[in-house]
Amino acid sequence: MLITPITKLEGTFSIPSDKSISHRSVMFGSLALGTTHISNFLMGDDCLSTINCFRKLGVNIQIEEDTVTIEGKGLHGLTPSEDILDCGNSGTTVRLISGILSGQAFSTTLTGDASIQKRPMKRIIKPLSEMGATLEAKEDNFCPMTIHPHALKGICYHSPVASAQVKSSILLAGLYADGPTTVIEPAISRDHTERMLTAFGATVTREGTAVTIEPCKELYATDIVVPGDISSAAFFMVAGLITPGSDLVIQNVGINPTRRGILDVLLTMGGDITCFNEKEVCGEPICDMRVRYSKLHGTTVEGDIIPTLIDEIPAIAVAALFAEGKTYIKDAAELRVKESDRIETLHTELSKMGAHITPLADGMIIDGGYPLTGATLESYHDHRIAMALTIAACNAQSPCTLKNSDCVSISFPNFYQLLEMHSQRLSS
């Protein structure tokens, strides 16, 4: 795709629905008794992978426009899949479904695309094995992975990583355990599982960084309205801040405290962002955001805030390129095991445009203020790398070519249409 520079972004629009919440609504709806209606569902490739997996496990799931209707089967009503379950590019699907499958009465094999087959599964194999399941994985760490369930026991697990996928996998297995299951994290990761499982009738409690789930007889269907995804809004927040003359309103953005780290970082960098119309929908806080072009300055992003913005670091890195001074990103080694090694891919690709980035084992140092020039860029089939490179390229001094840009369909199918609709190009 050819990306030509833009002069400003303006208008009022909504961004796509939250990926994490959409996944969970399908999973919990499938396990509940009764019919769950999900409105404003994200029809991105990852969430469609979750729907396909649960259809293969015998769940009747109907899709009509952006609404999904699920005839739940109950906690013990899933049926064996004739095929290996294909989780596509979705780490959330593989890791969360593994917890659920550990509590079933049949074995299941999971796999996914080339990226999924490189992502670490030991982080869930260890706790789920401690609970009693047997997980056979390639090199004990990678998909394809077969889960042989067993009577599960409740455990107290000190997770070495702040990962909502690991935490959720264990909590979902905990629904089937013989006693309470506790996960203690080094820092609090996104809490959509805790919020939504509570709405479906499970007993989940939190004390500091520890979350405990009680074993559960049944979950009960409830209707879900999915808010907009702050991880998708991130690209337009940053594009609005760095493109002179921009003035945007992004509607219906989820600002759950475990997800809103980017907002706090961009405000600290001097970003002119105002949140208004704050309200709560289905237990999740949302708002509208006005974003105006701003002169940004560098900052340090580290410590407990990292899990609240882990998916937004590619967008933050682009903001830092247009900020005065240095931005330090630390404590973010998890970036190395995302859809691509995002420290490596951001460094390699942004450097081609003239960016000054020093990669670190757990982050990067970005020296802002150097003009970007046109280059031929590669997304590595990583949706967030594709979108980060695009907003950087929109503000380069000459056109860029981005290879494999269609992977934005993983989380933001209409990214390029929205960008086109709300931006003015130099040539127009």
Residues of each annotated binding site for phosphoenolpyruvate:
19, 91, 119, 165, 342, 384
Residues forming a β-bridge with 184: 158, 210
Contact between 310 and ligand S3P per CB under 6 A? yes
- Nearest Cα to 98, choosing from 27, 162, 22? 27
- Minimal distance, residue 29 CB to ligand S3P, in Å: 16
30, 102, 163, 340: which one contacts ligand S3P (CB under 6 A)? 163
Nearer to ligand S3P, 96 or 152 (CB): 96
Task: Out of 25, 36, 81, 92, name the contact with ligand S3P by CB under 6 A.
Answer: 92
Report which of 333, 416, 413, 329 is spatially closest to residue 17, judged by C-alpha positions.
413
Q: Is 311 in the site for ligand S3P (CB under 6 A)?
A: yes
In whole angstroms, how close is the CB of 261 to ligand S3P at the nearest point?
A: 12
Sheet (strand 210-213) strand order? 156-158, 181-184, 210-213, 204-207
In the complex with ligand S3P, the residue whose CB is nearer, 90 or 423, is: 90
- Inter-axis angle of helices 230-242 and 415-422, nearest 10: 30
CB of 310 to ligand S3P, least distance (A): 5
Residue 222 as a binder of ligand S3P (CB under 6 A): the answer is: no
Count CB-CB contacts under 10 A for residue 83.
9
285 phi, psi to nearest 5 deg: -70, 140
Cβ-contact 213, 204 below 8 angstroms: yes
For ligand S3P, the closer of residues 56 and 119 by Cβ is: 119
Binds ligand S3P by CB under 6 A, chosen from 9, 16, 20, 341:
20
Per the annotation, binding residues for 3-phosphoshikimate are 19-20, 24, 163, 165, 311, 338
Which stretch in 99-107, 161-169, 173-181, 222-230 sits in contact with ligand S3P by CB under 6 A?
161-169
Side-chain-side CA neighbours of 258 within 13 Å: the count stands at 16
Choice between 9 and 329, CB closer to ligand S3P: 329
User: Among residue numbers 246 through 285, which ones bind ligand S3P (CB under 6 A)?
Assistant: none
* β-pair partners for 148: 134
- Of the candidate residues 30, 40, 49, 165, the single one contacting ligand S3P (CB under 6 A): 165
Q: Name the token pair of 313.
A: 């670091």
Interaction of residue 45 with ligand S3P, rule CB under 6 A = no
**Residue 127 φ then ψ, to 5°:** -65, -40
Nearer to ligand S3P, 234 or 310 (CB): 310
Phi and psi angles of residue 37, each rounded to the nearest 5 degrees, phi first: -105, 130
**Per CB under 6 A, 316 contacts ligand S3P:** no
Q: Is 43 helix (H, G, I), strand (E, B) or coil?
A: coil
> Helix 313-321 vs helix 261-268: angle between axes, to the nearest 10 degrees?
10
Which stretches of the chain bind ligand S3P, using CB under 6 A?
A: 20, 23, 92, 163-165, 168, 189-190, 310-311, 334
